[in-house]
Amino acid sequence: NAPIPHRPIQALPDQLISQIAAGEVVERPSAVVKELLENALDAGGSQITVRLEEGGVKRICITDNGKGIPPEQMPLALARHATSKIASLDDLENVNTLGFRGEALASIASVAVVKLTSRTADAAHAWELEGSHLGTVQPSSGAPGTTVNVQDLYYNTPARRKFLKSEQTEFGHCAEVVRRIALARPDVTFTLTHNGRTIDHWIASDMAKRSAQILGEAFAEARIAIDEASGVLRLHGFAGLPTASKSRADCQYFYVNGRFVRDKVLVHAVRAAYEDVLHGDRFPSYVLALELDPALVDVNVHPSKIEVRFRDSRAVHQFVFHAVQRALAQTSATAHGAIPA
Ligand code: ADP
Ligand code: MG
């Protein structure tokens, strides 16, 4: 046996720390799209454009008309663990922004060529910063708001690049992320282009219209509106009737405080509510949003924040189950000629 060499313990360089973090935060182009869209929404953007090239691998460029970043803060936006969204543990426990970890832009900038262009409402012109937080901020042009341009994803981490799938597959994941976020925010106008072609364009409207546009007419014609509140919990959105069910679980959108989540407790509660009306091999379609006091749910479970942990998951399960079941029972009663409750 060869002796184990004695290597000194060393602090890792910044760039390498970010590249390691990027493995979690930026698994593929769609994860970049998600992070940039969340930043655009946190900045109060009401019009957001997503431009992709070659499935996002060649280029992801997201423009918003939000509040912008003052030039002196632009380097910090690209620095690791720097955020304007929380400042204390108390803030973390009551977080009401989509982001708060302060690592997305730094991670992305460590595995791609990033250019940040931003202009605040009161600034005379825009400013730009390219590369990393070590670059220099320079005058630029553009309307108020922010553009983040991400070029050549994983150009410096070839091992990661090998895991990417075809352009169409990566684009499909990106488009799905845009759909998820657009469903949560019908009040915002979204545009998605791929290789110069406009793929989606949704004008700001309401949840009824947005979900019909995104989930299609079949869903729009066979769904029931839900809006129920109990104590600190509120559930609203649309549950598809059995005729809008699918053979795959690909039309299931659940949001907790505006964040798309995949949560066993919630999926189970909804599935159980459909028990009496839906055949076991069919999957219900739904767009449901649960709102609750942010202190009652922990979103800091995973870097992508797709998982959550409820303080009282039994209460949440009960509430969601009953709300959906009641809604479905009403329609089946109407369908059989009974008077709805
Ligand atoms: P986080 O969103 O967790 O704070 P990010 O790395 O995504 O971390 O962003 C760092 C900071 O850069 C944000 O806290 C915010 O102040 C600023 N920022 C990023 N994107 C935008 C944007 N589109 N508009 C305005 N500010 C932004
Ligand atoms: Mg962010």
Predicted ipTM of the assembly: 0.99
Pocket test for ligand 1, best of 83, 111, 114 (most atoms within 8 A of CB): 83
Q: Pick from 261, 221, 226: which is nearest to 241 by CA?
A: 221
* Model confidence at 341: pLDDT above 50: no
CA of 93 to the centre of ligand 2 (A): 17
Looking at residue 335, its pLDDT comes to 53
Please return the burial class of 6, using the count of CB atoms within 10 Å of its CB with bins 0-12, 13-18 and 19+: exposed
Q: Which residues line ligand 1 (CB under 6 A)?
A: 35, 39-40, 43, 64, 66-69, 77, 83-85, 99-106, 146
pTM higher than the cut 0.90: yes
Q: Is 320 helix (H, G, I), strand (E, B) or coil?
A: helix
CA of 229 to the centre of ligand 2 (A): 30
Ligand 1 atom 16, closest CA: 84
Nearest ligand 1 atom, CA 64: 23
Centre a 10 Å sphere on the Cβ of residue 92 and count the other Cβ atoms it contains: 16
CA of 86 to the centre of ligand 2 (A): 12
Q: Are 56 and 29 in contact (CB under 8 A)?
A: yes
Q: Give the CA-trace dihedral at 216, 323, 338, 218, to 10 degrees.
A: 10
Looking at residue 334, its pLDDT comes to 57
pLDDT per position as a tens digit, 52-95: 999 999 999 999 999 999 999 999 999 999 999 999 999 998 88
Rg (CA), the chain: 22
Looking at residue 76, its pLDDT comes to 97
Residues 6+ apart with CB under 8 A from 100: 83, 85, 86, 91, 92, 300
The per-residue b/e assignment along 251-287, b for 16 or more CB within 10 angstroms, e otherwise, is bbbbbbbbbbbebebbeebbbebbeebbeeebbbbbb
Nearest ligand 1 atom, CA 86: 4
- The rounded distance, in Å, linking the Cα atoms of 303 and 26 is 10
pLDDT per position as a tens digit, 16-34: 998 888 888 899 999 999 9
Q: How many CA atoms lie within 13 A of 216 on its CB side?
A: 7
Looking at residue 332, its pLDDT comes to 67
- The rounded distance, in Å, linking the Cα atoms of 331 and 329 is 6
Nearest ligand 1 atom, CA 101: 3
Looking at residue 123, its pLDDT comes to 97
Residue type, 226: I
Ligand nearest to the CA of 38: 2
CA of 38 to the centre of ligand 2 (A): 6
Nearest ligand 1 atom, CA 107: 6
Nearest ligand 1 atom, CA 82: 10
pLDDT per position as a tens digit, 308-328: 999 999 999 999 999 999 999
Ligand 1 atom 19, closest CA: 39
Q: Pick from 38, 7, 13, 10: which is nearest to 25 by CA?
A: 38
Looking at residue 140, its pLDDT comes to 98
- The rounded distance, in Å, linking the Cα atoms of 287 and 207 is 9
93-111 mean pLDDT = 93
φ and ψ at residue 205, rounded to 5 degrees? -155, -140
100-114 mean pLDDT = 95
pLDDT per position as a tens digit, 181-236: 999 999 999 999 999 999 999 999 999 999 999 999 889 999 999 999 999 999 99
Distances in Å between the Cα of 97 and the Cα atoms of 1, 92, 143, 301, 305 are 54, 10, 24, 15, 12
Q: Are 30 and 260 in contact (CB under 8 A)?
A: no
Max CA distance (Å), the chain: 82
pLDDT per position as a tens digit, 114-172: 999 999 999 999 999 999 999 999 999 999 999 999 999 999 998 888 999 999 999 99
Going through the chain in order, the beta strands assigned E by DSSP cover 47-53, 59-64, 113-119, 126-130, 138-140, 145-151, 189-194, 197-202, 223-230, 233-240, 252-256, 259-260, 286-291, 297-298, 309-310
